[in-house]
Structure 1
Amino acid sequence: MRIDEIIATSPDPTFSFEFFPPKTDEAEAALHGTLQALRELQPSFVSVTYGAGGSSRDRTINVVRNLRLEHGLEAMAHLTCVGATKDEIRAVLGQMRDAEIDNVLALRGDPPGGEERFSPTPGGFASSPELTALLAGEYDFCIGGAAYPEPHPDARHEHDDVETAKAKVAAGARFLITQIFYDNADYFSFIRRLRDEGVDVPVIPGLMPITQISQSRGFLAKIGARIPDAYRRELDARADDPDAVKDLGVSYATQQAAQLLAAGAPGIHFITMNRSPATRAILSTLRLHRPWENADPARAVASNSTA
């Protein structure tokens, strides 16, 4: 089923999970266990990240196929412009179509390892709006795109992220999923600016609870996700107590998600890192308290509209 239709017809906000393709048999077994646990939560859809290399790319397609056929989950494949010509990308899209994949998240992709800035592959695409236009013009996928409430590392000016999101929607994206963020004010501001520009597709917040101090010093720093000062102080105060860090991270993410849903966010996309406990705790709490039912429509800043 197409994700734009899932969002439009769901009586409640959508909840979705993001996984990455396992690289070893042990990792595949661990992912299987995670899927068994998270499937009980009945996600609206799941997504699988993409690697530019051949074996990693094939794993993405295989995992998405298996999620649909073996686990009964609607799945979306990520696709990037990295390391491929337009014809090579068309070949990948042919494989996705043959695998009966309905949904694709069109991304520019991060620079390859060791490179500081993205450089288009000769004969390839230079941006995600270009990739989105190919998908919309030649295929029948439901297309999603990424959005950046905080400035993208390659943003040219303060309005660049809004202009790029607008270009993705104009090219054919039917919904957007944000990069990870930890200050809801950034999301609310971004939504207001998008709506002012006439962009009215659903924008799903992407959240990842901080369960290890190394996350904030490594991965999150790399992608430029800003951790509010007060939150960072509390994390650092628990640096010698991993369980306390995890408890705080789950609590913070739960409150963050509840505020977003109460303000009208159309759902939450959980970046799971192929693990289940934190996501299960957060989503179970949200469904128990249902903060979206207490929303004040007059104050909502994030609509559940579709283009």
Structure 2
Amino acid sequence: MTQPSQSSSDLTTLSFEVMPPRKENLIKPFWDTVQRLLSVTPDFLSVTYGAAGQDRHSARDVVRSLVQDSPVQPIAHLTCVGTTATEVGEVVSDYLDAGVRTFLALRGDPPVGRPDWQPAPGGVSSATELVTLIRSIEAARCAQYPGAALRAAFKPLTIAVAAFPAGNPAAGTSPNQEVERLLVKQSAGASFAITQLFWETDTYVNFLEKARSNGVTIPIVPGILPPTDIKRVNRMTELTGVVFPEYLRRRLESAQSVEEMYSVGVSLGARLARDLHEVGAPGIHMYTFNKAAPALDVLDAAGLVSASHLDPSISR
């Protein structure tokens, strides 16, 4: 298996996914978590949108605040399930007005209990269509407003999409089919991809090799979930269909306490992050579920951030 080369750890991006708070009493803990994540100066934070856009208003508030009040580049998630093209266009324009320059275009999950869901007439049916729509809205703004065109020249719009190295069991697709889908997204105007979670380095490397040999040239950033909580791992297996390897499960389940399980999970996550870095991954994207400690501890143990990068005044 050929491994791509890695030139310098300084060139590896670090990023985190956060979920906007759904209740008022979660707002302060959410921003405390964000501040802890910012202590390692990530390249960006991605902000989820919720199933069928259910966190739409909270997400926009979070993204606006990050644009205005933080040094980090926010990535605004967008989903198209359950919305018309007009509604999606309004959200895109609102984000662009707020200064957002990066989106993560996703189809999103169908409504609960409707696995055979199909978009209504006038809806956006896929992430590829969503990428095309975002590009068209930006092009129209640049054509109409000279200032928008100038801003786009020195701060281009970038659009991320999802990639599925293990295939997408929920959609019944194989890794080869997901390479084909990624190539279509790239042709529509995707700038880079962030992967669904996976548990073994070879899963990423094999997918990357297939993607490159089939003409995918955009960066593919691996997404990692720290396996510090077996209940969380089991839940993500249910949601994604991506199987947690039995030998890793035995490692976690052999722990004699919650603290030991956490330590084992950090070690497993750190090894994956370190191995991905060594095979040349362009960055590491951490799925946090709004918990800073597991993500930061994994990156620290992997040697991708040092103690000097962690703000000593902030408890993780």
**TM bracket, shorter-chain basis:** 0.7 to 0.9
1:256 paired residue number = 272
User: Structure 1, residues 126-160: CA drift from partner, whole Å, max 9, x if none?
Assistant: 11111111112331631110000011121345521
**C-alpha displacement at 1:175, in angstroms?**
0.3
1:146 paired residue number = 162
1:169 paired residue number = 186
**C-alpha displacement at 1:287, in angstroms?**
4.0
Is 1:237 the counterpart of 2:236 in the alignment?
Answer: no
Could you say if the C-alpha distance between residues 160 and 118 of structure 1 is closer, same or farther in structure 2, counting changes exceeding 3 Å? farther
User: Structure 1, residues 258-282: CA drift from partner, whole Å, max 9, x if none?
Assistant: 0001000000000111111111112
2:122 paired residue number = 123
| CA distance in 2 between partners of 1:179 and 1:156 (Å) | 13
Which runs of structure 2 are paired with 1:1-307 in the superposition (5 Å)?
A: 11-51=10-50, 56-139=55-138, 141-152=157-168, 153-156=170-173, 159-238=176-255, 241-287=257-303
Gaps of 5+ in 2: 1-8, 140-156, 307-316
Gaps of 5+ in 1: 1-9, 291-307
Could you say if the C-alpha distance between residues 242 and 89 of structure 1 is closer, same or farther in structure 2, counting changes exceeding 3 Å? same
% same residue = 35
Q: Normalization by structure 1: what TM-score?
A: 0.86
Is 1:52–1:84's contact at 8 Å kept on the other side of the alignment?
no
| CA distance in 1 between partners of 2:79 and 2:166 (Å) | 21
1:5 paired residue number = none
Could you say if the C-alpha distance between residues 55 and 120 of structure 1 is closer, same or farther in structure 2, counting changes exceeding 3 Å? closer
1:301 paired residue number = none
| CA distance in 1 between partners of 2:274 and 2:173 (Å) | 32
Is 1:149–1:181's contact at 8 Å kept on the other side of the alignment?
yes
User: Structure 1, residues 88-122: CA drift from partner, whole Å, max 9, x if none?
Assistant: 11111111111111100000111222233442233
Is 2:165–2:175's contact at 8 Å kept on the other side of the alignment?
no
Is 2:49–2:59's contact at 8 Å kept on the other side of the alignment?
yes
Could you say if the C-alpha distance between residues 210 and 100 of structure 1 is closer, same or farther in structure 2, counting changes exceeding 3 Å? same
Name the SS for the 2:11 alignment partner. coil
2:154 paired residue number = none
**C-alpha displacement at 1:44, in angstroms?**
0.6
| CA distance in 2 between partners of 1:190 and 1:55 (Å) | 32
Could you say if the C-alpha distance between residues 265 and 103 of structure 1 is closer, same or farther in structure 2, counting changes exceeding 3 Å? same
Q: Normalization by structure 2: what TM-score?
A: 0.84
Aligned length: 280
One-letter amino acid of the structure 1 residue matched with residue 266 of structure 2: V
Is 2:266–2:301's contact at 8 Å kept on the other side of the alignment?
no
| CA distance in 1 between partners of 2:43 and 2:302 (Å) | 15
